[in-house]
């Protein structure tokens, strides 16, 4: 099987993915599929996307050799792909630019998004301002409370944040509510999903837009180290930053791909968000994938110190990469992620997002067991300014 051909026509990655939506949504998805297929093969669309990435986002993002951190770990060399240096401070904007350009092509004046931590909401509000579009962001009331600063950021950018009261009042419910808005207002509205989940074509489309991370990495590693890394490590919430860096490496079989989920307080406690490590396949949000669910098939609540990893599902392409063994998935606890957060701050002067700190923690676990000549590439998906409150609280301080 040549994985590069995936997904198939209807969005399947092996048994995963697909289009599992109510009939009321299927025409909107047909329209989106056609529009994206046309845009994908249009050189002008591609050129516009690349222009924006370069001049607005500030790409390419550098790769940095974290020498002090590597020395402290006493083994493999750790390199860091600096998505935290993008405009708005995370990888999320690569995708929102792509989808907003597509929305413009489709003559949609209004964009909507779901957000958990608020990073995708901010990235959507940002491009909506940039392209003069109306923007509505759905956010669970729990998250509105936890992420007040990002709510304010979205407001400053001109977006309307709608608190979601239904279900568990978190990211998955915000996604449900955004879908409901979309079916109701499909003529005027484009739904910008923030990760490689949802019904086809979203997992493929978001992956395509995020693949710039891996494409740049292949070139930059060659320039910096004269070779490709032994392993690429990325955190996995819905899986967009991981898919973005993994995808261009899939064909390079000698490069290990390691996805890091949130083990929260520990997989054995049940308080985690590790769908691949501890979930079962099922159907949610329009696709088949690994899900955290109870015996009745109800989706369960998740826990992670990083709001961006707090999602009970995962992109279907990751489910496929897990089953066929091309990628491996592990989980890192809140405590391990926090320790890695501080280690990176103090050794390199880089404050990582708590999501990204999970990937750093995994690199710190792997590095000591490898020779000094080995290379680990960590995708640092975002910067940690948004998390300073959480970090202070965990240390018993108040900001």
Interacting residue ranges for other proteins, rule: CB under 8 A: 10, 18-28, 30, 166-168, 172-173, 176, 179-180, 183-184, 186, 280-286, 291, 293, 295-299
Examine the residue annotation and report whether 365 is marked as an active-site residue of this protein: no
- Minimum separation from the CB atom of position 115 to ligand PLP (A): 7
List Cβ neighbours of 23 (8 Å cut-off, separation of 6 or more): none
235 binds, among other proteins, ligand PLP, none (CB under 5 to 8 A by kind): ligand PLP
Please identify which of the residues 240, 275, 306, 381 carries the catalytic annotation. 381
Q: Which pairs count as long-range contacts for 347-352, CB under 8 Å and 24+ apart, including other chains?
A: 347/66, 347/68, 347/69, 347/72, 348/64, 348/66, 348/68, 348/69, 348/80, 350/64, 350/66, 350/80, 350/84, 350/380, 350/383, 351/383, 351/384, 351/385, 351/388, 352/84, 352/380, 352/382, 352/383, 352/384
- Minimum separation from the CB atom of position 177 to ligand PLP (A): 17
Per-residue binder mask for ligand PLP (CB under 6 A), 309-338, x = binder: x-----------------------------
Please identify which of the residues 52, 83, 92, 217 carries the catalytic annotation. 92
Looking at 21, 29, 69, 90, which residue binds ligand PLP (CB under 6 A)? 90
Residue whose CB is less far from other proteins, 32 or 123: 32
Place of tokens 């109306």: 134
Helix axes 202-210, 212-225, angle to 10 degrees: 30
Looking at 17, 140, 239, 264, which residue binds ligand PLP (CB under 6 A)? 239
237 binds ligand PLP (CB under 6 A): yes
Residue whose CB is less far from ligand PLP, 141 or 370: 141
Place of tokens 């923690």: 361
Rounded to an integer, what is the distance from CA 320 to the centroid of its chain?
A: 17
SS3 of residue 51 by DSSP: helix
Kindly list the residues in this chain that would bind ligand PLP in the complex (CB under 6 A): 90, 116-117, 119-120, 195, 235-242, 308-309, 353, 355-356, 381-382
């Amino acid at each position: 099987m040549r994985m590069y051909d995936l997904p198939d026509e209807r969005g399947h990655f092996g048994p995963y993915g697909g289009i599992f939506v109510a009939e009321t949504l299927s025409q909107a998805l047909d329209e989106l599929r056609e529009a994206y297929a046309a845009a994908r093969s249009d050189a002008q669309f591609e050129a516009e996307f690349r222009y924006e990435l370069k001049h607005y986002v500030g790409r390419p993002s550098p790769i940095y050799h974290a020498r002090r951190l590597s020395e402290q770990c006493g083994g493999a060399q750790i390199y860091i792909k600096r998505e935290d240096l993008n405009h708005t401070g995370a990888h999320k904007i690569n995708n929102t630019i792509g989808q907003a350009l597509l929305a413009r092509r489709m003559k949609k004046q209004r964009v909507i998004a779901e957000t958990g931590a608020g990073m995708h909401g901010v990235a959507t509000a940002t491009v909506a301002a940039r392209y003069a579009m109306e923007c509505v962001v759905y956010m669970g009331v729990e998250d509105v409370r936890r992420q007040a600063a990002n709510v304010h950021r979205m407001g400053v950018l001109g977006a309307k944040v709608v608190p979601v009261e239904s279900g568990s009042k978190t990211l998955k419910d915000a996604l449900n509510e955004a879908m409901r808005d979309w079916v109701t207002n499909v003529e005027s509205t484009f739904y910008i999903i923030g990760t490689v989940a949802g019904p086809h074509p979203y997992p493929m489309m978001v992956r395509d837009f995020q693949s710039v991370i891996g494409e740049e990495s292949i070139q930059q590693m060659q320039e910096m180290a004269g070779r490709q890394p032994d392993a690429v490590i990325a955190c996995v919430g819905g899986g967009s930053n991981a898919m973005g860096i993994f995808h261009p490496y899939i064909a390079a079989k000698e490069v290990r791909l390691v996805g890091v989920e949130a083990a929260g307080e520990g997989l054995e406690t049940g308080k985690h968000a590790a769908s691949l490590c501890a979930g079962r396949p099922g159907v949610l949000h329009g696709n088949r994938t690994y899900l955290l669910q109870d015996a009745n098939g109800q989706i369960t609540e998740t826990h992670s110190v990083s709001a961006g990893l707090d999602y009970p599902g995962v992109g279907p392409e990751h489910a496929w990469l897990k089953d066929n063994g091309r990628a491996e998935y592990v989980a890192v606890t809140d405590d391990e992620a926090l320790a890695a957060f501080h280690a990176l701050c103090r050794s390199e002067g880089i404050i990582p997002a708590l999501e990204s700190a999970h990937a750093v923690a995994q690199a710190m676990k792997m590095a000591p067991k490898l020779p000094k000549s080995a290379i680990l590439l960590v995708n640092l998906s975002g910067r940690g300014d948004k998390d300073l409150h959480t970090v202070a609280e965990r240390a018993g301080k108040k900001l």
